[in-house]
Amino acid sequence: MAGKNSKVVVDGHPAVVHPVGLCVDTDRRRLYWFDTEYRTISTCKYDGTEVIKYSVASNIQVLNLAVYMVSLRTLV
């Protein structure tokens, strides 16, 4: 965990400006994060492909993310 062999997964993509709250879904092999600039929850495959953005209501403050046997579509 020293950062050796690290890999940039999503770089320069419009879905990523100020990501916070990274979450790893090992079952679906996807990454999830909240972007404070766009107020979106985004997801992509481990290799950075298939980026999907979900809008978050302006009156909701996202502090952290967790994935637990639920489809993200039911949460947003």
Encode 21-46: b = buried (16+ Cβ within 10 Å), e = exposed.
Answer: eebebeeeebbbbbbeebebbbbbee
How much is the pTM? Answer: 0.72
**Each residue's pLDDT expressed in tens, for the chain with a length of 76 residues:** 577 887 777 777 776 788 888 888 888 899 988 888 888 888 899 898 998 888 877 777 776 777 765 555 544 4
Per DSSP, 75 falls in state T
Each domain of the chain, given as residue ranges in start order, spans 19-62
What is residue 45's predicted lDDT score, i.e. its pLDDT?
A: 93
Q: Give the contacts of 64 (CB within 8 A, at least 6 positions apart).
A: 21
Eight-state DSSP code of residue 52: E
